[in-house]
Structure formats: C-alpha cells, structure tokens
Amino acid sequence: MQYVEIEDLIRQEQKIQLGSFIGSVDIDEYLSKIKNNADIVTFYSKGKCVGFIAFYCNDEKTKQAFITLVLIEKNHRGMGLSSILMDGVVKIIKKRGFKSCKLEVKKNNMPAIKLYSKHGFKVIDDLDIKHIMDLDIS
C-alpha cells in the first residue's frame, strides 16, 4: 500500500470540504497518527487507491476497536465500495477477538449514518454535532 495515496485522498477531501473534513485537528498530526498507529483497509481501482477505512485495534483491555476514518474518492461514491470495505474491516476486527467497534459521525452526514446503520451500528451517544455509534461484534 502506498500511504501517499491515502494522504492525498484525505488532503483532497479536506479541500473539497473547505477544511471541515478533519475538523479542528492539525491535519499533519492527524495524518501522522493514522500512518503510525492505524490499520488501513484499501480499495483500488485501475491501480489507484480510491477508498479506505482507517481503524484501531489496540485496546486489548476492553477489546473495543475504533474506526477513525472512512473515505471514498468523490468520483467513486455511490458504488458500494464503503460497504465492501466495512465488511472487510468488521471481519478483521472479529478475527482479532475484539468484541465491539465504535466510531464518531457528524449528524448531518446521512449517507455515512445510513452505511453504519446498515452494518449494525447503533447510536449510543448523541453529542452536539455528532453521534457516537457502536457495533456489538460478540
């Protein structure tokens, strides 16, 4: 996997969303954290990375995974790629013996909420501008 392709996708989306994609976090720090700590499942089309999911399976005590980022390149959205990636990530998490998976999603991101709900995630906390969702894997 070429991490530079993932970084390019994130930076492109950050520009498309006028800096609101990653939020108030420094993008370089965020990219470094993903590169150094996250597991990443990618989807390639014609030799190019067009989507990925970055997640953490590092909480051995609680056996709780965390999906930090789902991103599909703009021209490849609506093709079911995020569902394919989500299925793969859930299989990995389950195979590693994790019991649940959490994620955060902006309340106005209805396509993402629909995707996560389709895969069994439930809203467990309702914050100002986002939901915390959880998937029971056990």
Q: Which domains does the chain have, with CATH numbers?
A: 3-136 (3.40.630.30)
CB 106 within 8 A of CB 127: no
**What is residue 25's predicted lDDT score, i.e. its pLDDT?**
83
pLDDT band at 2 (very low <50, low <70, confident <90, very high): confident
Q: Is the pLDDT of residue 1 over 60?
A: no
Q: How far apart are CA 31 and CA 7, in angstroms?
A: 7
Give the mean model confidence (pLDDT) for residues 11-21.
89
Q: Is the pLDDT of residue 84 over 60?
A: yes
Give the residue among 120, 48, 46, 55 at the shortest CA–CA distance from 83: 120
Q: Which residue has the higher pLDDT, 111 or 1?
A: 111
pLDDT band at 80 (very low <50, low <70, confident <90, very high): very high
Give the mean model confidence (pLDDT) for residues 102-128.
95
